[in-house]
Structures are given as structure tokens and as C-alpha cells.
A and B are shown apart, each in its own frame.
Chain A
Amino acid sequence: MPVSKTVGARIKRREDPRLIQGLAHYVDDIKLPNTLHVAILRSPYSHARIGAIDTDAAQNLPGVKAVVTGSDIKDTIGGIPCAATDPEGFPGIKVPHHPVLAIDKARFVGEPIAAVAATSAYIARDALDLIEVDYDPLDAVNSADAAFADGAPVLHEDWDDNMAFTWQIAGGDIDAAFAEADHIVSQRIEHQRLVPNPMETRGVLAEYMRGKDQLTIWSSTQIPHLLRTQLSIMLDMAENHVRVIAPEVGGGFGCKLNVYAEEALLGHMAKTLGQPVKWIEGRRENFLHTIHGRDQTGVVELAVKNDGAILGLKYAVTADVGAYYQLLTPAIPTLTGLMLCGSYTFQNVQMDLKAAFTNKMATDAYRGAGRPEATYLIERMIDIAAHDLGLDPLDVRRKNFIGTDAFPHETGTALAYDSGDYTAALDRAVEMADYDALRWQQAELRDQGRYLGIGFSTYVEICGMGPSAAMPAGGWESSTVRVDPTGKVTVLTGVSPHGQGQETTFAQLVADGLGVGLADIRIIHGDTDAVQYGIGTFGSRATAVGGTAMVHAMGKIKDKVIKIAAHLMESNPQDIVLEDDKYCVQGAPESGLTLAEIAQVAHVGVGLPPETEPGLAESHFFEPPNFTYPFGTHIAVVEVDADTGEVELQRYIAVDDCGNIINPLIVEGQVHGGIAQGVGQALYEEAIYDESGQMLTGSFMDYALPKAHNFPRFELGNTVTPSPVNPMGVKGVGEAGTIGSTPAIANAVIDALKPFGVRHIDLPLRPEKLWKLMQERNDDSL
């Protein structure tokens, strides 16, 4: 894609002025008169039978309008949906009913038990203290191992065990690969549970207009249309009487790609109370009852030859999915299975997954969603194999890379990688890092008892989700482009940006495509009454799929504009070009017409070519033929302090290839944020539940998010390998930083501790863990 006027330029985000000036409207900023405030009573027990619930005192508190319990609504609000329960994909899957408010039994700490609506948020909170719940505590299941143990307490008593589902993927001839191997490298690897932690917690405002039988839900969501469909089912309302609005959304990272209890509950309460109701999630509630990410533990076996050639990979894994499914819970670990081959040629692969119900919050999509697990384990295994075979981890990667001439490449898991040049990205990163000099420096420092580590991650991931056939709830995307009589352009997009900057990048595409100024373009999203049905923003799909839908709709507009221009200028459409924002006969822009002039004709309806509809608006629904596969090389340089075990991230080099780039500034921003979250997983973050199922890391005092001072200035580079999957050649970059960075950091820290004979350490690599290891073992080289 050629760099033209705006596409490819470092244009500042048009969203930012309102965000940094406090002028954005999040759910909590929307004030409706007469609004009642809702507070949710949550289970303090991880597993307990619920007896009588006495709400009298709460009901009688002045200001309280309603108290709702599970038994009040169990026949009026349907269960919380899961879109990934097809028994063909998950043989024998158990799909428990997931009530909006717990009925008879609480299954995790934070599960909603009752809701209070009151005239102020404070009264609602006070009323919660007056609700008496008769709990009979049961033994808890706090891990997948505990869930599968003999005699384990059973969460869902419709079945007799806690096996939620199993899943398997196999490609090639795994037995032959292992028989042929010189070494079998084996390692148990944990992917710890994480809390997504968007800056804005969830929140819902609901209003019901009885006269029109219309329910409007404002929710901090990534998927307004899918949410509308599900709410209409849960609340048994006609879908065209439900409107969902995602106003400004302060980050999601996957955790708002969901349908939550509170969204349906508030819709129901607005309807029954006849007043608007609002609930804003507190940070402590967010820790307990917004989905978590990762939480897989498995044993990886890698079949390798002495020269480092990888023949095959086996992964036997358990996933701790929590007490119930949320929207995509079972689908997430399947993405791990699909991506097990990484950037490498081996075709023999097998993953056997067992998923356990436990007394915890559900896991679901968190930035990367299943792919970080795949990249982490393959990138770790390559380093372990290099360690065991005495090879340079860089050489092992090069040896096994899929060749640049091998695309499209079919993996052992039946994915078709669209395009790639893995060696080019690696070479660029190695050059930026000055790898040989780093190894010299490392050797010198080791002589002084200082521990420098260098870690690689050469990732490939799935973006542009995706073909509908491969998705649980549609993978296409929609766009309508409208040109007003005055020539202003409005884009209605089915994606729902919440930090990704599409109000800027989409406007860049329109500015260049139709010949209008950026200021004349408005991107509307997130309102189901305004925008045609769409799927939403997740899986780094908004530009690759939603942007493509818009480009196609814009192409239809342009065809019509050219047809009208040709008619007005008594020329042939094939002779009309867009030059200097004028539609003109080639080489004569001075006699051309602007979009505004043509739009006026289209709307006046006089002077149009024969057989031409008046007006100027076109829609397009784009079904992508494939996913896209961005890739890159990340290099981390760390020093581990022998006295404290603290990891200093000294340098971070990231070379990402996300195909063609519309706005480098936005791409860099996405990579920065992604790296930050990946570093969080590598060094700091872990959601911990104790034996009784209590979440011990339920606030920022105990759940460590990285802060700006934990990062060096990231050194970013890129290569450009366009994707053949869409006409723009874009791939997606929302999750690359997270997927690439965790293994690079882990490999660097473990490389630093090589003198101590360290081969693997599970994440997060907290100082106390590293310090203990360094105390227990001696540096053999000294």
C-alpha cells in the first residue's frame, strides 16, 4: 500500500484530546434523571450452600427501592451464555446453568447473590450489610489437580466430577517423530492466572421506556451487538427493542468481550422498577468477578535432533477454567493448541487438554487469549533444548524457521500462515541489539559476579479474527459509509474501539480514499441503534476485518461518485481520477469536482446519470478468507541482582511485522502497551487463591501491575510483509507485544541464571523466587 496523504503517516490520535482533557463520556459520566444506584452482594465463600436470604432489613432502609435475589429472577432472566459449547468440538462438554444471581449454591468468591437498588450508591452499599444470607460452607476446589483428585467436592452436582471438557488436536505422526529424536526435552510449565485490569472497570446503565417498550443498556463492552442479541435472549425481549451503547470504553483487553450477570440484571431492574438503574464496578469487584486470563499447567515434550532440529511437540495440559463458563471460556485454550508449532517447520504435534471446574472466577480472553500460552511454551522449550544440547538459542530458532519462500505455510495444526519473513525480523532485531557485543558483555559481567541475561522470542500469532467458520459467533465485520449533502463523511463501523485508535486510522483511510480532510470525517461505533450489526473489537481484528469492510463500502461510494462526476463532466467513468481531492479527468484537477459538490448533486437528486439512485451511502459486510499471522522477534536484556533477586529490564528490542502500517504512531502505542502487559506476566502479576478458594490478590496492594519506572525506553523496529488476506495488506498488532514479550523476558532471566544451573523457572519471576534459587545453588563458574 503506497504511503499517500495520510495513510502511513504518524498522525496523532484524534481520540486523545477528549481523553486527556477529561471530556470523554464513560458509562459513569452518563447521568439520567431519576437514576437508581445498584450494589451487588457477593459471596464471601468460594463454595457454600445458600439457605434462607433475609432481605427485610435491607428493604426497610430508607432510600432502598428494591432488593433482588436469585429466586426472584430465576424464571425471568435466562442463564449467562457461552458461545463455545459445541459437543462436536468439545466431546462430552458439561455446560452448567450459569445464573445471573446464585441459586442454592455459591461457587466462587465474588459470585453475585443479591442486588439492591437505592436512591444513592451509598445507601445501596449500606443496604448490602443488612442482607442476611444463611451460608453452609463446603470444601473448596482451588486448582485443576484438586478438582480431579479422588473424592474432590463436586461443583456442579448434575454431574459426578469436575471435568468440564476435554479437547485434543493432533497433526503429523507424533510417535514417529519421538522415535526418531536424539533427545526428548521435557518440562512442566505453568501459565499463571492473570487479572486483565482495564483502567476503567465495568459499568452498566439501563433505561426502559415503557411507552415504546424499549430497553437501552449503556455498558463498558467490546461487543455491543453481540451483547444486544444475548440480552434479548436472556430478558426474552424482541432484539429490535433492545439498544446497547458502548460509550467511551477505558480498555478491555478481552475482559469486556463478554456477557456479564450485571448487564442482564440491570436491564431487568430498569424494566421492573420503571426508573433508570446504574451500577459501576468497584476495583475489588473487578478482581473477583471480571474474567481472568491464562491458568494452564502442562508438561511439554519436545523431540529434537542433536543439531537442534525440532521433530515434534507434545503438550498434556490442564486448564483451570473456574466455576462457570463465560462467553468464550472453552475456546481460549484451543487457540493454544492451534499455535503450538510457532514459527517453526515441524508438523508433528499433539495437545491433550483437560479442563477443570474450580471454585474461582471463570477464565476467558485476556490480551492474546491462548496464543501467549503457545508462544511462551514453544519459545521456552527452544531455550531449554538449546541449553540441554549446548547450542545457541538463536541458532536453534534459525534452523527451524519456516522459510520465507514457504508461504502460505500449512502447519501441523491445519492453519495456513498467510505470509512471513521470520529471518528478516530476527536479523533486524539482532542488529539493533548488537547481539555479539551483548554476549561479550555478559561474559565479562559474569566474571564480576554479575548476571546479565539475553532472551529471545520469535513469535507468530493469529490476528484478524477471523473467518466465520472458525469463530464461535461470526468472524465477519460490517461498515456503512455515508456522505452528507455538504460532503462530510460518516462511517458506521461494527467494530467497537476502546483504545485502539480506529477513529484516527479509519479516518486516514477515508481521507485518502475519498479525497476529504480528516476533520470532515466522523467514525461512529458502539451504538446498536445507529450502526448496522457488527461483531466487535477483539483478536486484533478491527482494522484487518472492520477496516476492510469500510474500504469496500468506500469503494462502492467512490464508484458512484465517479459515475456522477463523469456524467456531470460529460466524460467516461474510466477516465475520472481522484487528484488533489478533486474528481477530474486525468491531468485536469482545476476543472474537477470535490466530493462535496458531487454529494450535493447526489442528494438534490437532479442531474444524476440514468438508473442512478439518489443519496450517497453504501454498506459492506466483509468475510475474511483467513486469519492473518503477524510475527516478529523480541529481545530482552536483563540483569538479575544477586543480592536481592530483583530483575532490572535494561533493554527491550521489539521488531514486529504487522503487515502494512496505516499509522506508525498507533502501532507503536499498541506495541508499548502490549509489552507492558507481557512484562507484567513475566515479572509481577499472579492471581492467587488460597486453599479455601479465597482470592488473596484482590487489590493493587497484592496484585502487582508493572509501572512506568519498571520499563526501559523500548527500542522498536519493524519489517513489512503485507498480508494477502485483505486488500490493505494489514495484519493486526493489538496483542503482538503481549505475546512476544513474556517469553523474551523469561528467557532472558533464565539465561542470566544459567551459571546457577537453572533450566526453567515458572512465572512470575519475582525477586524472592530468584533470590532463593541463587542462595540454594552456587554459581559454578566462579
Chain B
Amino acid sequence: MKFTGTHSVGAIPDRAFDLLTDPEVLARCMPGCETLEQVGDGVYTIGVSAGIGPIRGKYAGRVVLSDLHPPERYTMSVDIKGTTGFVKGQGGVALTSEGEGTQVTFDGDVQIGGPLAAVGQRLHASAARLMTRQLFSAIDAEARAAP
């Protein structure tokens, strides 16, 4: 599944970049994120609890942030799996200055498998949109809060 989108963050690109790549911020902002621990340079283990339609479950795996070019772009890959399936994706994240804030654009490919694919597929795109909107509005709220 192609996975693209654009969101606004109420901070200049330097700060937006820091927020987006800060594991503590991500752990707070990512919907369903239960644990996020750094295990290497740009490598994090993650535990997520999420549901799409009737398929709810816990997923664990790793997130890798690479090719970091602050404050312009980086690459993010996710590889998590759980009892109800797996999610594997990779994509580029680009930040551009937009007035007082930053426009964040991502463009990636996501592969979903297991029961999650067999049962929830019609809901994937809308669920992914919903979760990224939640993520970015939480990051936006962090950005607008006092640093």
C-alpha cells in the first residue's frame, strides 16, 4: 500500500525535526505506543497496541531512523509484528518551512500481513490516515507548548 500525506507542525523546521526524531516525544505522541527504547544509533524497539476494525492486538518490533539530514529530511522504517499480523514499511519524511511552521510530507510503502490484512484491508487507508493525523496533532501540540 502506498502511504503518503502532508501535515503541519507549529514550529520551525529545526525544532520540528528534533521533535519528530526524539524517541520520548514519539513515545508520547504515537497512538497506542506503549514502549519505545533506543537500542542503537537511530534504532529503536517499539511496542504498540492498536486496532483496525475488529482486529486488535499488540505489536512489537523496531523503528529505524536513517539518512538523517536535519532539518530537511530523513528516512523511517518500521517493522512490527504481533499475534494479529505484521506491518512493514519504509518511507521518506521531508520538512519544508511554511510561514511560522513546518510542512511535513511523507511518502512510503507499507506492507500489511496476516489477519490484519485479511480482515481489515478496507480500513487500512482510513486507519493509517487517522493514526498519522493523531500523531501529528499530538506533535503539533508539543510544538506549540512551551519548549
Q: A residues near B, CB below 8 A?
A: 44-46, 109, 128-129, 137, 284, 287-288, 690, 692, 694-699, 701-702
Contacts and interface: CB of A to CB of B under 8 A. Distances in A.
- The 9 A-B pairs with the shortest beta carbon distances in the complex, nearest first, are A698-B118, A44-B114, A694-B117, A129-B83, A696-B121, A699-B119, A44-B113, A694-B113, A695-B118
Given A44-B81, A44-B85, A702 B117 contact: no
Nearest to B57: A129
B113 A109 contact: yes
B125 to A, nearest CB: 12
Interface in B78-110: 81, 83, 85-86, 88
A702 B122 contact: yes
A287 B118 contact: yes
Given A44-B81, A44-B86, A128-B83, A690 B122 contact: no
Nearest to A41: B83
Contact of B112 (A46, A287, A694): A694
Contacts of A46: 113
16 contacts: A45-B86, A46-B113, A109-B114, A128-B83, A137-B88, A284-B118, A287-B118, A694-B113, A694-B117, A695-B118, A696-B118, A696-B121, A698-B115, A698-B118, A701-B119, A702-B121
A698 B85 CA distance: 13
A690 B117 contact: yes
Nearest to A48: B113
B85 A701 contact: no
Contact of A698 (B81, B86, B88, B117): B117
B111 interface: yes
B117 A695 contact: yes
Q: Categorize the interface residue count of chain B.
A: 10 to 19
Contacts of A284: 115, 118-119
A701 B121 CA distance: 10
A701 B115 CA distance: 13
Contacts of B81: 44
Given A44-B113, A45-B113, A109-B113, A694 B83 contact: no
Q: Classify the interface of chain A: helix, strand, loop or mixed.
A: loop
Nearest to A125: B83
Nearest to A694: B117
Interface string B116-147: 01110110000000000000000000000000
B77 to A, nearest CB: 14
A644 to B, nearest CB: 19
Nearest to B1: A690
Contacts of B86: 44-45
Contacts of A690: 117, 121
Nearest to A133: B81
A137 B113 CA distance: 11
* Most central of B81, B85, B113, B122 by chain A CB within 10 Å: B113
A545 B50 CA distance: 55
B140 to A, nearest CB: 33
Contacts of B113: 44-46, 109, 692, 694
A109 B118 CA distance: 10
A288 B112 CA distance: 16
Contacts of A288: 118
B83 A696 contact: no
Contacts of B114: 44, 109, 694
* Most central of A44, A46, A287, A288 by chain B CB within 10 Å: A44
Contacts of B85: 44
A696 B115 contact: no
Contacts of B117: 109, 690, 694-696, 698
B111 A698 contact: no
* Most central of A284, A692, A694, A699 by chain B CB within 10 Å: A694
B122 to A, nearest CB: 6
Given A129-B83, A698-B117, A702-B121, 4 more contacts: A690-B117, A694-B118, A701-B53, A702-B122
A44 B119 CA distance: 13
A162 B16 CA distance: 50
A200 B111 CA distance: 32
A697 B81 CA distance: 21
A696 to B, nearest CB: 4
Nearest to A110: B118
A234 B62 CA distance: 42
* Most central of A46, A284, A697, A701 by chain B CB within 10 Å: A701
Nearest to B123: A701
Contacts of B111: 692
B28 to A, nearest CB: 27
A137 B111 CA distance: 12
Contacts of B115: 44, 284, 698
A694 B88 CA distance: 13
A703 to B, nearest CB: 10
Contacts of A44: 81, 85-86, 113-115
A417 B124 CA distance: 52
A311 B113 CA distance: 49
* Most central of B85, B88, B115 by chain A CB within 10 Å: B115
Nearest to A46: B113
A36 B21 CA distance: 50
Contacts of B88: 137
A137 B112 CA distance: 12
B54 to A, nearest CB: 8
A262 to B, nearest CB: 18
A695 B118 CA distance: 5
Contacts of B119: 284, 698-699, 701-702
